[in-house]
Amino acid sequence: MILLLPLLFHCTAGKDRTGFSSAFILRALGVDKQTVLDEYALSNFYRYEYNEETIEKAAKFYGLDQRILRPMMSVRPEWLEKGFDEIDKQYGNFDNYLLELGVDSTAKSKLRMKFLQ
């Protein structure tokens, strides 16, 4: 595997695909689940002003109630947690899931050496 750094990945809002991908990378690096969930939840704090402006504009433009738009612009850590729970249910734990993807202890060690100090 060739990994060029620095690495950038993103999606439109940066919360769903990117948020889940970031969470999975953090878990593969050995970060505990609760810390990952807490970090994921910070998106609501750091994106608050942008989200509120976007919600207001979209509500006016499309004539929608802001309460309908707000869940689309925010993150819910419990959704991410449900994803982790499903992995645990199907694979026993996150490490087994990574093994199924071909990420063994050697690969995890290489990732940790590359990304952690």
The DSSP-derived string for 25-39 is HHHHTT--HHHHHHH
pTM attached to this predicted model: 0.81
Residue 104 tokens, joined: 């063994």
Q: Which domains, ranges and CATH numbers included, belong to the chain?
A: 17-115 (3.90.190.10)
Instruction: Report residue 16's pLDDT band, with 50, 70 and 90 as the boundaries.
Output: confident
Average pLDDT value for the chain: 89
Average pLDDT on 84-101 reads: 97
Which is catalytic among the residues 11, 64, 72, 101? 11
**pLDDT digit string, tens, across residues 63-84:** 999 999 998 889 999 999 999 9
Report the percentage of the chain scoring pLDDT > 70: 92
Q: Among this protein's residues, is 74 annotated catalytic?
A: no
6 to each of 54, 75, 114, 115, how far by Cα in Å? 29, 26, 11, 10
Going by C-beta distance under 8 Å and a sequence separation of 6 or more, which residues neighbour residue 111? 28, 29, 103
Inter-axis angle of helices 48-62 and 66-73, nearest 10: 140
